[in-house]
Amino acid sequence: MTVVVKIGTSSLTKVDGSIKREAIAKLCDEVAVVREKYRDIILVSSGAIGAGLPTLGFMSGRPDDSRILQAASAIGQPKLMAIYGEELARHNLGYGQLLLAPDDFFIRDRYLHARSTLQSLLAAGIIPIVNENDAVADDAIRWGDNDRIAALLAHLVHAEKLIILTDTDGIFTADPYLNEEADFISEIDSTSELGAVLGGSSGEQGSGGMSSKLAAARMAAWSGVTTTIASATRTGVLLDALNEVSGTGTIVRPNLRKLSAKKLWIAFALEPNGTLQIDKGAEKALSDKGGSLLAVGVKRISGQWKSGDAVSVISEDGNAIARGLCAVASDDLAPLLGLSTKDHPQGFPETIIHRDVLVLLSGSDD
């Protein structure tokens, strides 16, 4: 069995950004126990930016300046890895560092190289520790949190389990920090809609809140992976999560239908910048015939987006049908609504969203 374990900034750093060595020690102790039963385990660890901010004079809070965050990552990453190395060495375990970017999952050559590196490390008994390459990441092509990286890694290595460790016991019907009456949710069907209020990141230094963890769990579910979202402070949390001990955390069950890594990103990781409402003919072409979305099938639009941005596709009744990357900017598309294809300007693309970058949210898909 291959297991991907992700731990967040709020579980690894204090309010001032300093690293909680005891938290890393606990995690490494549990990794050693898991290794006795499951050979392959990959860690996705946040905390580099938080660990580096105090050196730059930021003792609390998280600045918005991307240059500061990138510098903090460059400072904090080696500090973080040094502690991991020392704590894993107590168990005679070696580690290797991988800093990844979105293109490592969506450009095939880089995808294959990343998988090969991970497989080589695992075959040698080395524990890969993964983080986003924050120090050089382009804001336009980055995740901003490690939850989605963990989900895509689970897809990349065909993992059976994803464990997301956080500072709450799992997912609740409301933010438990704000509502004492919030109910714990022990299990979620990945195909259902969760009508819960999900809080943002509870830690000042973190970037991924519960909503991103749920999105990551749903991404994993569409890869056929079972996810558990649980508290990093729970004793024996890794082994309990793998054994699905009752009360360990919130379990998100896998979906029978699987998506490619690129379509996982489009469906669950990108925030739509607008909405396209389509007619029944276009809906049928998408759902029954596996076609692309053509301009003639778009009835109305809302929002503002550029060419290549993510958009939602809804039916005439307002039901969500799909998500995709729109080839035409909203300003260019708006004047042509209601016009037949023959009346469009020369050179205007007939295909608004190509099937290769379109994900149906129900029914069958590629």
Q: Check whether 135 has a pLDDT greater than 90.
A: no
2.30.130.10, 3.40.50.970, 2.60.120.380, 3.40.50.1820: CATH of 270-360: 2.30.130.10
Distances (CA, A) of 128 to 2, 45, 240, 296: 12, 10, 22, 49
Query: Mean pLDDT, the chain, as a whole number?
Result: 85
Distances (CA, A) of 139 to 76, 153, 176: 19, 21, 31
What is the fold, at CATH topology level, of the domain defined by 2-258?
Answer: Carbamate kinase (3.40.1160)
Residue 2 pLDDT: 92
Nearest by Cα to 5 from 184, 313, 270, 229:
229
Q: What is the pLDDT of residues 46-91, one digit of tens each?
A: 888 888 888 998 877 778 888 888 898 899 999 999 999 999 999 9
Question: Could you count the other beta carbons within 10 Å of the beta carbon of residue 105?
Answer: 23
Residues in Cβ contact with 212 at an 8 Å cutoff, skipping those fewer than 6 apart: 145, 147, 148
Task: Confirm whether 2-258 and 270-360 share one CATH topology.
Answer: no
Write phi, then psi, for 222 (nearest 5 degrees). -80, 5
Please work out, in degrees rounded to the nearest 5, the angle formed at the alpha carbon of residue 139 by the alpha carbons of 202 and 71.
75
3-state class of 165 per DSSP? strand
Q: How is the chain split into domains, by residue range? A: 2-258, 270-360
Predicted model pTM: 0.80
- Torsion sign (Cα): 362, 151, 105, 199: positive
Residue 339 pLDDT: 74
> Which is more confident, 144 or 288?
288
